[in-house]
Amino acid sequence: MPRLAARTGRAKPSAIMVIADTARQLKAEGKDVVNFSIGVPNFLPGDHVYAAVREWMPRDSGGYGSNRGAPALLDAIVAHFKDSGLDGYTRANVTVGIGAKQVLYNLCEALLDEGDEIVFPSPYWTSYVDIAEILGAKVTILPCPPEQRYKLTPAQLDKALQSNPKVFLFNNPSNPTGMVYSRDEVKALADVLVKHPNTWIITDDIYNRLVFDGIGYHNVVQFRPELRERTFIMDSLSKTYGMPGWRVGFVAGPEAGVKALVTLNSNHITCLPEITEAAAFAALTGPQDIPATKCEELSKRRDEVVNALVSIPGVKCPRPQGAFYAFPDISVAFGKSHNGKPIENDIDFCKALLEDKFVATVPGSAFGEPRSLRISYTCAPAQLQKGLDRIKQFFAELSGEEVQRARAVGA
Ligand SMILES: Cc1ncc(COP(=O)(O)O)c(C=O)c1O
């Protein structure tokens, strides 16, 4: 048999999907599973989006559309960026993709040759590593542990950029930590970035409408406009408009760079389906109350989750200020056991929690931080408290002695 291309071996199956599959299997067996593992919003787009789709159907051409995106949608995207405080972009600065994931893939393809360096902080969204590795880029990770609230410092960034990496990738608000960089923190990073003109910047801002506590959403180009010529800002309808399955992502950036993305689109996807573009247009131009209301609701859930987690002795949870994730440091459990199962690391912990308490979470090592785990708190309201109670109970049932016993008998 001829061999597969080497790049296929570099792509790893997502750890999140493995947990989700086990959770689904337990559910199918009739177990009462609380699913904190998948990062999907708990709401659908408003009726106006579905109405727009119905209205579009009789007019659908059934043909190919623009590689860049339908002109009306591009205008809506430009207006959306403006509404997010990112003024001055035109149709020539934006394009679409099949979700932010495909936009990111295009960006990495456009910016990185094999062996080029891409730098980003950890914890990171899992696909950052996978996409870079499929493309044969060199990945440099900047560890941002819980002690620094999972945030990158200007000094760390400055040091990392000394080697002139090709790309710096920055996610704010963050998946998996829910951390949001304040105005001053973003400004301080922008001040460092201007000193390193040989590095492209990608900002993954897809959770930008889900920011709590009045902290606001900020981007480096707002503080240092000279960064615009080498910054690409990614956004998507997946998380903020309740439309992950519609697969609409978009990006704003320098004209020549975006043109390259359009050329890649013409070879990868040709275009978004017309009907999807009609839905996206309706979401972006219609009533904006859904993201705002959901943001309010999610901030209350955040309180519930963080209060429960920090009430567990030894668990630390830097307070998230956006998205819908909490990322507690659960390393206090390492070296203990549950129901005779030794817990040596985050993977043992998540496995035992799922098998013994039917709560699905994602091990932090999937995101580059093996001391933590990710809780996505968009489940049904009744499930939330139940899941948190089970986690508390799990911790209360941990035993130190059993591990030693298990080790002594070589288990
Ligand atoms: C940080 C981050 N970026 C990008 C994506 C991809 O989003 P999309 O559904 O628009 O492809 C996700 C999805 O989980 C994400 O969490």
206 lines ligand 1 (CB under 6 A): yes
Element (H, E) at 81: helix 71-83
Ligand 1 atom closest to the Cα of residue 102 is: 11
Is the pTM value of this prediction over 0.85?
Answer: yes
Ligand 1 contact via 238 beta carbon (within 6 Å): yes
Residue 249 Cβ < 6 Å to ligand 1: yes
Nearest CA to ligand 1 atom 7: 100
Backbone dihedral angles phi then psi of residue 93, each to the nearest 5 degrees = -100, 0
- Strand, helix or coil at 367? helix
| 29 CA to centre of ligand 1 in angstroms | 30
Q: How far is the CA of 237 from the centre of ligand 1 (A)?
A: 10
Give residue 405's pLDDT.
47
First to last CA, the chain: 41
Which atom, in ligand 1's list, is nearest to the CA of 171?
1
- The token pair at 148 is 């620094």
Measured from the CB, is residue 242 less than 6 Å from ligand 1?
Answer: no
The neighbour count for residue 62, using CB atoms within 10 Å, is: 7
Q: Which atom of ligand 1 is nearest to the CA of 174?
A: 1
The predicted pLDDT at position 9 comes to: 86
Rounded-to-integer distance, Cα 279 and Cα 56, Å: 9
Taking CA atoms only, the protein residue closest to ligand 1 atom 1 is 175
Alpha helices in 154-310 (DSSP H): 154-161, 183-193, 220-223, 255-268, 274-285, 289-310
CB count in 10 Å sphere of residue 58? 6
Q: For residue 144, what pLDDT is reported? A: 98
So what's the pLDDT on residue 69?
98
Nearest to 281 by CA among 289, 269, 273, 292: 273
**Of the candidates 366, 371, 389, which has an alpha carbon nearest to the alpha carbon of residue 333?**
371
Residue 8: per-residue pLDDT: 86
Phi-psi region of 85 (alpha: psi -120 to 50; beta: other; left: phi over 0): left
Task: Give the atom of ligand 1 at the shortest distance from the alpha carbon of 237.
Answer: 10
Cβ of residue 41 lying under 6 Å from some atom of ligand 1 = no
CATH assignment of 6-44+290-403, among 3.30.950.10, 3.90.1150.10, 3.40.50.300, 3.40.50.720? 3.90.1150.10
What is the residue extent of each domain of the chain? Answer: 6-44+290-403, 49-286
Sheet holding 138-143, edge to edge: 94-98, 248-252, 231-236, 200-204, 167-171, 117-122, 138-143
Residue 410 pLDDT: 45
Any atom of ligand 1 within 6 Å of the Cβ of 204: yes
Query: Following DSSP, what letter does each residue of 273-314 receive, concatenated?
Result: -HHHHHHHHHHHHS--HHHHHHHHHHHHHHHHHHHHHHTSTT
Cβ of 277 closer than 6 Å to ligand 1, yes or no, is no
Closest-lying ligand 1 atom to the alpha carbon of residue 98: 11
Low-confidence ranges of the chain (pLDDT < 50): 402-411
Which CATH number does the domain 49-286 belong to among 3.40.50.150, 3.40.640.10, 3.40.1360.10, 3.40.50.2000? 3.40.640.10
Q: What is the pLDDT of residue 14?
A: 67
174 lines ligand 1 (CB under 6 A): no
| Separation of CA 211 and ligand 1 centre (Å) | 16
pLDDT of 15: 67
Helix (H) or strand (E) holding 6: helix 6-10
How far is the centre of ligand 1, averaged over its atoms, from the C-alpha of 54 (Å)?
A: 27
